[in-house]
Structure 1
Amino acid sequence: MAEASVRLAIPSDAAEIARIQRDTWRSAYADLLPAEVLAGLDNTDAMRELVEQGTATVHVAIEGDWTVGFCVVGPAPDSEVAEADGSLPEDAANTGLVATLLVEPRWGRRGHGGRLLAAAAETLRKLGATRGVSWVPEADRASLGFYHSAGWETDGVVRTLDAGGKPLREARVTGPVDLKLISS
């Protein structure tokens, strides 16, 4: 395996980040999202704006000369941490959000997801978070298993999104941000 690392994204990474999201969703979510939604994915401008404005932190996973994954992390809005009844947990102000964490399937099982989650956790700790949350499609067993292996669990809160006229159920996962990458 070539040298692997995680670094902060720069604006010139935007097209590659958008491509990774498009290709990964088309592969992993073909049964979950309508074809027209998947066909219309092109958010290069939105990714560039996100990286440039810094409203969230974007990390990219690199292997050799290739960008192979990314994550978007930042403070969690109240709507992302609220309980099913709408109430906020006591630690709402200390909870961060992993908005997206994707590794291209062909680069999977090489530690990139773990490195990205460790980088996300470090960012959240710097923001004062003690806990993180993320949302995963209930049918995405691979991602749920990944978070579980990192000590994050579903907390019983689900939401249903309108994905181009097709409902998409997501489960919230949550866990500590005291994660550290362990080299083998």
Structure 2
Amino acid sequence: MALFREPADVSVRPAVPGDEDAVTRIQVSAWRAVHEAALGDGVVDALDTAAMRDRWADAIASPPGPGFAVLVALDGPRIVGFAAVAPGQVLALEVDPDHQRAGHGSRLLSAAVDRLRQGGADEVVTWVLDDDAARERFLSSAGLGPDGTERTLATGVRDVVERRWSALL
């Protein structure tokens, strides 16, 4: 007898008040797993998570304007990833390290691009921290590529470089 397994209950929805705790937790754990070496020793540990949570709560409850949104990826009832968008831009996209490579990032990016299109965008841009090869592969597989623009950010420990990736919609 063959066993039939129900498909996983996975989805993306707009974030709602109360989701800020999960979004903050995911952002910190993803940064720790992926960016800690690039950002510098102690940078992730020094994050003011209460202030981060408050900023996410504000962004979710009172977006700063049209075209701004926070989306969350669900695996069953659990929030396992998030994306934040602004007009024409994916500001953030993170998936809990324990839930990566399960399609959540692709679902989030697709939902984010749909939101950008609804807002009238004809291009999507996002930023990639230097040495994030996994994110570069992910974005490349989705049709984005580096456009030659970069910026330098100060972490308090060292300066880090981000490169802009973009695609026409």
What do you get for the CA RMSD once the two structures are aligned? 1.1
Moved over 6 A (4+): none
1:119 is displaced (CA, Å) by: 0.6
- Per-residue CA shift, 1:54-88, capped at 9, x if unaligned? 1220000000121110000011xxxxxxxxxxxxx
The whole-number CA distance in structure 1 between the counterparts of 2:22 and 2:10 is: 17
* Equivalent residue, structure 2, for 1:47: 56
Q: Which residue of 2 aligns with 1:107?
A: 99
CA distance in 2: counterparts of 1:32 and 1:164, whole angstroms: 12
Aligned to 1:33: 39
SS in 1 for 2:115: helix
Find 2:74's aligned residue among 54, 62, 67. 62
| Residues matched between the structures, number | 157
Give yes or no for the alignment of 1:161 onto 2:167.
no
Give the aligned residue type for 1:129. Answer: A
**1:53-132 counterparts in 2 under 5 A?**
53-55=62-64, 56-75=68-87, 96-132=88-124
1:134 aligns with 2:126: yes
C-alpha distance in 1 between matches for 2:122 and 2:53: 31
Q: Give the residue type in structure 1 aligned to 2:132.
A: D
Report Cα offsets for 1:12-57 as digits up to 9, x if no partner: 1001100000111011112111233201221111100111111220
Q: Which amino acid aligns with 1:145?
A: R
Provide structure 2 residue ranges, at least 5 long, that are not aligned to the other structure. 1-6
Identity, % of aligned pairs?
38
